[in-house]
Every structure is written in structure tokens, then in C-alpha cells.
A and B are shown apart, each in its own frame.
Chain A
Amino acid sequence: MGALRLPSLTSVFSASSARSSLLLRRSNHLHVRKLTSTTKVFANSSPVTEVAPPPESNQKQSSIQEQGITPRSQDFNAWYLDVISMAELADYGPVRGTMVIRPYGYAIWEAIQDYLNLKFKETGHSNMYFPQFIPYSFIEKEASHVEGFSPELALVTVGGGKELEEKLVVRPTSETIVNHMFTQWIHSYRDLPLMINQWANVTRWEMRTKPFIRTLEFLWQEGHTAHATPEEAEKEAMQMINVYTKFSYEEAAIPVIPGRKSRVETFAGADRTYTIEAMMGDRKALQAGTSHNLGQNFSRAFNTQFADENGQRQHVWQTSWAISTRFVGGIIMTHGDDTGLMLPPRLASVQVVIVPIWKKANEKNEVLGAALSIKDVLHSAGIKVKLDDSDQRTPGWKFNFWEMKGVPIRIEIGPRDVSSNSVVISRRDIPGKPGKVFGISMEPSVLVPYVKEKLDEIQLSLLEKATSFRNSNIVDVNSYDELKEAILQGKWARGPWVGSDEDELKVKEETGATLRCFPFDQPQGGPKKCLMTDGPADEVAIFAKSY
């Protein structure tokens, strides 16, 4: 699985000074990983080489320039960790399995928040904040829920120097506390539907962690709703998985497959779980968001009732749904290439980087002046633009750096461009000459629409590329042998399925693949023969190895 076991905090901070301990951590970090070219960067004596080598140190500079990050094609996992480190997306936290989300990574999360927060409000949800601590007794109320979560719970037993009377759970998810409150707020049908959302951190004490994908603490939004009828709850659960799907396609350029989870993979305490499954660059599946129809499981456990229009007491029907910082990992692993990160323009905090080029001192002023005015023009047109005007780096270094950071468009401007009143524009998604266009006029009336059009094109082209990659790696199978073969090739297998829970577990044990979902999009033409049992199957399911 290649998940990285992060060093324990004792090993991280046992050394006397912070710096030496950080170095120690780095070397630990290397031991658990296969030796790759990245190790050269990490092993370099000065830790600064991770991202921004000081200009005075040419040798260190070359570590990014020449060695670069581990090529994706060579070692996907090492590549992923390199990208996160060098593009300054995140760093390892001081406690095993935690991470520090750095500004460049956090900006992606903010872009996700900006979009979703608006959609949630448009669909009638209000934001709230529930306490992070949940009495242990709450968690125990819903049987399958506690069973699903108890091994991963972080428990606070000491506070303010005293042993606590009841141990407190650091929230792994908030269904229990939400229901506790819903019970007090909901009295009659007029109080329904109750639709809330919160942006919060949650904790799951996982053993195998990987930045963004699986960390002890992560950030997410969790929506919780209560309804008067099962139909309404079902409609809500579907509505929210559709919001996630639309977001994935239109903003993140990730062609997720929405579908329903099998019983085995259904959320602990839910009747039905809907999911969006994304194919990463290594063809593993990533569950990128989920929406649960909770039925009356929690309302029965917490006695959340309402009086209907006839005055009859009934339990409410509920949903919950979430997207987390895991999605950021999904973006990295969907679009990134050997050069590094590749951000979809709609989620990029820098959409355009301007690199001015000058050789002689007398050229500097006019080039910088022109670059600055282009920056202003683009900025006032609502484009997120950065001018890299530092004179510490060569233009070539800057090209590589911003490519590695995944900025969709680069504008180059040199003395000759200034005199011809034009610029050179390069696309991140098309490497080298083919992605480069010369002689684009600096005139705002030309430049602004051109850049906007290119951003849209890139957005679309990322989605198209990811879609054709996905499609070419899904195999339709009709027998277990065919499924095994597809999984062996690292692909996704799609085939008719009515197998039992045991059959599903057998596939997992024998192939390492899990049932990702029964996709909403089903082939036409009536029931087919189940690939495992030969029984008549109404639906196809997708099996794949996953994160």
C-alpha cells in the first residue's frame, strides 16, 4: 500500500535542539522510504533545499533544477511526497500522522470551501459549530457506529491537571452530538427540515497515514440534516452527492464516478452511503466524498422525534455528508505529472505567473515596468496573478519552480517583447514548445480575453485528459478471472454483481481490490450474470484497489 508510517513524536523531539531534531526526523523519514532521487534533496546537509535553495548556494539550487522531484512514472508514492514537500503544500506535523498545511496547500482548501460553502447555503443549509469533545456515552448509543469508530477514537481523560469524570472523545465525526441536540430542537413537523453544516477538524487515530489522504487530524465540512419523511432524506442525500459530483467535474476537473456503496462499505450507522470515486494517477481509487442516508438509526438511538401534522410522534429521517482535506490529495494525484503539481485553474491560488526576463541592468526597468502593468491589468480583470520579480533567481529557475508549483499559465516578458508590445504565454498542461505561444499583444483588450480563454481551455483539457485516462483504465469484466486479471493490471474492474458480503470480502482478500461503488450510471439491457455467483445481477459494480 505504500502508506508512510511517520516517525513517532518521541523520535522527533528527543534531540536537544529543535533543529537537530528536525534533521533527525528527516533522516527517519528516509529510512522508511525507498531510496529515490528525492533522497538527495532531503539528505543534503542544508534542509533549506527542500523548496527554496538560497541563491548563494548554486550547488543546492541544482538539487531542484537537475535532480528535480522523483518522476511520477518511476515511483508514484515518492513523487507524491516530493510534490507535497517541494511545492510547499504541507509538512509533517510534530505528532505522528499529523500534518501542517502550508499556505499554498491551504489556499486549495480555501478555494474548495469558497465554492462548497456557497452551494450549501444556496441549498438551504446554515453553518454551526459543535464542540470538539463528545462524552464517550454518546458514541456508544448507536451500536454499529461505536463499533465502526471505537478503535480510532482519541480520548481525553485529563484536563486542567485533573482526571476527568467521564472520558471525552475528540470528535471523529459529529452524528452523535448533532443528534443529541436535534432531539432538543425538533418538536414538530414545523421544525423540519433542519439542515446544518459545520467546518471543523476531526480526529481518527489511524495507524497508516499519508499527507492529505489519511491523517490523524483532518479538516472537513460535515452536513447534517433531519427530515419528516424517508423520501425527503433520500432526496437530500442524493442532492448533496450531486453537489460534490458537480464540484469535482467543474472546479477540480476530476471525473469522479458517483455511486452507491455496498453494505460492507456503508458508513457505520447509515442505511445507504453514496460516494464519489476518483481515479488517481496510479489508477488507485480515492473515495473523495460521501453522502449518507442515515434512515432512522440515529434518531432511534437518540430518540429524535417530531409530532407530525396529525399530532403523531415519529422519528426523524436523517442524512450526513462530508468532504475533507483528502480532496486536496486527490487533486494532486489526479493532475500532477513528472514535473510536479498541476492545478486546475478554478482552484489555483495563482492562475498566472509573470516572469520578467532581463540581462542588462538598463533593460530591467522597462521590463519590470511592463510586467507590473500587465499584472495590474490581469489583477483588475479578476485573474489571480503573481509577478515573480526577485532578482535572486534566473528566469530558467523560475520557470521550473512555478511549473513544479502547478501554476496553469506563465507569461514571459523580455526586452524584445517590450519593444514589440507583446508577451509569450506558456501552458502548464502542455509541456515545452507546443504549449508556448509568442507575440500575444499586451493590449488589455487582447491579453485579458486571451488569458481567460486559455484558463478555461486548460480547465477543460485537464478534465478531458483525466476522463480519457479513467475510461481507458476501466475494464468491463464478466467473470471473477477477468476481474482478477484487470486488478492485476492495476485497472478498475466493472462487472455485474449480486455477490454476498462474504464474496466481497473474498475479492478483497484475494485481489486487494474493494467494491468501490455501484455507479449511478448503469449499462442498459436488463439483468446480467453476476461475475461471482452467476445469479442474475441488476447492477454492475466497480472493484479497484484504493487509498
Chain B
Amino acid sequence: MAGGNKPAKADKSNAAAKSSKGRKKETGLGLTNTKDGNFGEWYPEVLTNGEMIEYYDISGCYILRPWTMGIWELMQDFFDPEIKNMKIKPCYFPLFVSNNVLQKEKDHIEGFAPEVAWVTKSGDSDLENPIAIRPTSETVMYPYFSKWIRGHRDLPLKLNQWCNVVRWEFSNPTPFIRSREFLWQEGHTAHATQEEADTEVLEILELYRRLYEEYLAVPVVKGKKSELEKFAGGLYTTSVEAFIPNTGRGVQGATSHCLGQNFAKMFDITFEDENREKAMVWQNSWAYSTRTIGVMVMVHGDDKGLVLPPKVSSVQVIVIHVPYKDADVKEIISACSATVKTLCDLGIRAEADLRENYSPGWKYSHWEMKGVPLRIEIGPKDLANNQVRTVRRDNGEKVDIPMTDLGEKVKEMLDDIQQSMFNVAKQKRDACVQVTKTWDEFVDALSKKKLILAPWCDEEEVEKEVKAKTKGETGAAKTLCSPFDQPDLPEGTLCFASGKPAKKWTYWGRSY
């Protein structure tokens, strides 16, 4: 494991003591770390043992294996048609950005410049001007917006691209959550009015919420970012925020920005309105990345490995034959194949693992590690009773179901797993929410890894102060978002940090 997280050694021995029971003697499978015992080591271990990623010689770059791409593609299958319905068009802009273009928007470049990777050579020769690799594409795309948009009939211009981006960060790379190269979609749109732009920001945010809650079974909070945390160069930023109870960290799940007219001004993106007046466009940009997958793993994974929500698992049901001595193996195998076929015909993603060089026990552990939502075991007794044994990955529940209504029952079970994974995650997340009204309460809650909801005066300086005062080994606390769904804020409520009159409720915490 070159690169990546290398937690302190003290942690390691500690974790080993706590977790030795995790690895199964008979199969050699399993995890050496536990989620509660040593989350920092458990996470990379579950990703590599679950065959989602592989570490690579370049720190912060990971190989995304088929198990990951399956999840990513299923998410795309949901999201891409949704945005196409919104008349957002696919396109592809170059990976390479010239320095001049990158520099165009001052705040923007200040935000990204420290993270840029530069191509300085081609073959053996030095480039006259180094060329940047896109950290995001605002500055690549907007000169073209300027070129393509002339009249109000060219609006709205709504584009999306699926691509890789590169941010050469040095702080602790974490697979999916913070990697130097990642995959994402980035949407970029231009509108004639702010109202139209505002509406789209929220429509996209709702898609992100659905992606997390309905597909990844991860509860999120929709809200608005503080001035300090908003997108560099934008007007305002909305986000869906998830929470990882084990580490007590918030994680920005996806963002939908209203850029206002700032970029339009810098890139001269104007149009002639219906009254033939020259006007500047209103712009949005929005993105979700492979980070979504990391959040899902962190929320649902357990000491046996990954736990995948059925909707994003490329294998929803794994069928395993359990041949006892003297049993008619052929018949069992053909029952397995028939079961797979029945399920596949119903649109369920089912596969059989009929390898003979592995024992059923090994296979159970293997597919549990990979997080397949439902396992079906078929042995001689099941065959005799015309039934199959099902085992749920999320709660271990074992139920025998008759072959006759196999399809229907499995469908129901998958739906139930999806819903109950969300419910469990939500319950855990909700249990972490703590309302704090004073600084002391805040500090206490922070030390207990809570997701803090506090009345706030909404002043940039105050957030900076909170950051400075909570700065420690595990990072400073900051605002996550001000939820759209605001609890009552009785008049006279004071800001937990400044003591000034509070303007809103805001979520705070340490974050990824």
C-alpha cells in the first residue's frame, strides 16, 4: 500500500488488539480492523478487501476496480437521464487549461491555484508555457459560453460533462473522499434571469438528495453554505451534507452553486435581451463526484466488510450452492442456475458463485466482504423442500422462502433492505445531532463527535474565530451548512459563539 493514509503506529497496535477476532481463521478472509476500533484503518482495508480500489504508486491516486465502477455506473444511470430530461446537454471540454485562462477569475484561482498539477514537458522538450490540468472547468468553459451566447434565444445554455479532474492536495489523501484525481459530473449552465438560475440550483440539489437518500441510502441535509465555505468566485453555494458518526465528521456530499454574474463579467458572457439591451447571464455550476461512493462505504460498512444498498450494487443477489456429502450436486447447481435466471428475468441483478475450489463458508465471507445485499443458499434440504435460504447482508436475517414466489419475495426483500439501510443510517445520524446554544456546550459536543446545530449570527469573522479556537490535531470545526429546513428561532436567541443576536440555525462540525 504505497501512499495513502498512514496513521500513527500507536494506533495500529491498538487496533490489532481490538480486532483480531475480525479475521476468520478458517477462510483467511475478513478484516483486521473494526469500524469502531480503528476507523482510519478499517476504511482503506474494507475498500481494498472489498475489491473496490487498489492503491497505486502515486499517492492519492487509486485504481477503481469493476466493483466500484458498477456503483458509479448505476448512479450515472439514474442521474444522466434526469438531467437530460431537464434539457441539459452532454459535452466534453479539454483537460488542459492555459495559465492565462486559469488566472481569469481572481477569487476562483486563489481557491484552486495551490492544488494545480502542471504539464511542463512534451517528450524531451520543455513547453514554452506550462499547461494546467483542470481542477474544475469553469475557466475552460466560459470563454466558449461567451462565444456561443449572443441573443436571449441562445439561453438557457445548459451543459454537463462526465470527466476526471485533478487536485494536487497534500493533506491526507483518503480514497474517494479526498483523492488527487477523481471522476465527477460537472454541470454548467447560463440563464437570462437570476430567478431561473435559482430554480435550477434547487432542482439539481434535489437530484443530489435523491442520489444519496434513495440510491446510496445515506441521509443528507440540504442547505446553504456560509460565505467562508461557499465556492470561490460564486454568489452562493447549496449542498447536501452527510455525516459519518464514527469519526464525527461532516462530509460535503455534492454542491450546486449559483455563480451569479461574477464569471459572466470576467468572461464577458452577455446577451441581447428581448428589449435589445445588453445583459449579463446568470450562471450555475454543480457537481457530484466519486466521493459519493466513499460516503456510502463509511456510512454502511461494518466489521464484515462493505454493505451495499441494493439499488447501487451491481450484484444484488448472490446464489451459492451448498453441496453436502452424497448430495446430487448437479441438481443443486441446476437449481442455482434456474434461480439466477428467474431473478434476472425480473430485472434483478443476480449471479451464482458455483466455483468448486472454494467452500460455501469461504464464499459467504467473500460476498459479505463485497457487501452483496442478499445471499441465497441452496442445499439438498432446500431442494427437497422446494425452497431457498436467504440471508440479508444488512442485518444477517435468515429466511427460507418457497421457490414458487421467489421473484416476488426477493424483490420485496431488496426494497426492504434499501429502506431499512436508510432508516438505520438516519437513526444513527439523528442520534448524533446535538443542539448547542453556548460555547461550552459547543466544545463539549464537538469532543463527543456530534453533528452540532447551533444558532449563529452568520458573520464571517465569527466563523474564522471558531475555526481558530477549535484548531487541533483533528482539524478545526466549521460550518457545514444552514439547513433549508430551519427550526424555530425565537427572538432574542443569541449566537453560540459571539453572543450577538442569532440569524439562523447552522450545522457545525469537523469535516472531511
Contact = CB atoms under 8 A, between A and B. Distances in A.
Interface of A: 8-10, 12-14, 17-19, 21-22, 46-48, 52, 54, 91, 93-95, 98-103, 106-107, 109-110, 126-133, 135, 138, 150-161, 167-168, 170, 177, 180-181, 184-185, 190, 196, 200-201, 203, 205, 216-217, 219, 390, 392
A94 B118 contact: no
Interface of B is mostly: mixed
B90 A103 contact: yes
A153 B92 contact: no
Identify the 4 closest CB pairs spanning chains A and B, nearest first: A103-B89, A126-B66, A159-B168, A160-B168
A98 B100 CA distance: 16
A108 to B, nearest CB: 11
Interface residues of B, number: 70
A95 B131 contact: yes
A196 B66 contact: yes
9 contacts: A12-B98, A48-B151, A94-B98, A138-B57, A155-B119, A156-B117, A160-B115, A160-B168, A390-B153
Interface stretch (B8-16, B140-148, B322-330): B140-148
Interface in B68-102: 68-70, 72-73, 89-98, 100-101
A308 to B, nearest CB: 15
A47 B270 CA distance: 13
Interface stretch (B120-128, B399-407, B477-485): B120-128
Given A131-B62, A135-B58, A152 B123 contact: yes
A170 B54 CA distance: 19
B181 interface: yes
A135 B97 CA distance: 22
A211 to B, nearest CB: 12
Interface stretch (B159-167, B237-245, B432-440, B442-450): B159-167
A217 B92 CA distance: 11
B116 interface: yes
Interface of B: 54, 56-58, 61-66, 68-70, 72-73, 89-98, 100-101, 104, 113-124, 128-131, 133, 140, 142-144, 146-147, 150-151, 153-154, 159, 163-164, 166, 168-170, 180-181, 183, 267-268, 272, 355, 357
A216 B58 contact: no
B146 A94 contact: no
Contacts of A130: 63-64
B357 A190 contact: yes
Given A18-B267, A128-B65, A217-B96, A152 B58 contact: no
B91 A106 contact: yes
A14 B64 CA distance: 39
B58 A129 contact: no
B145 to A, nearest CB: 9
Given A22-B143, A155-B122, A177-B63, 9 more contacts: A22-B146, A94-B101, A95-B96, A103-B89, A157-B121, A158-B118, A159-B118, A185-B54, A190-B357
Contacts of A181: 54, 56, 63
A54 B91 contact: no
A184 B65 CA distance: 13
Nearest to A51: B148
Given A155-B122, A205-B122, A217-B94, A48 B150 contact: yes
Given A131-B63, A160-B114, A9 B98 contact: yes
A286 to B, nearest CB: 21
Contacts of B143: 18, 21-22, 94
A485 B480 CA distance: 73
B64 A128 contact: yes
Contacts of A203: 95
Contacts of A152: 122-123
Contacts of A47: 147
B133 A94 contact: no
A102 B169 CA distance: 31
The winner among B56, B143, B357 for most chain A CB atoms within 10 A is: B143
A103 B121 CA distance: 31
A25 to B, nearest CB: 10
Given A103-B90, A106-B91, A152-B122, A129 B64 contact: yes
A95 B168 contact: no
A95 B91 contact: no
Contacts of B144: 91, 100
B100 A9 contact: yes
A100 B68 CA distance: 28
Nearest to B358: A190
B121 A132 contact: no
A94 B142 CA distance: 11
A217 to B, nearest CB: 5
A80 B63 CA distance: 38
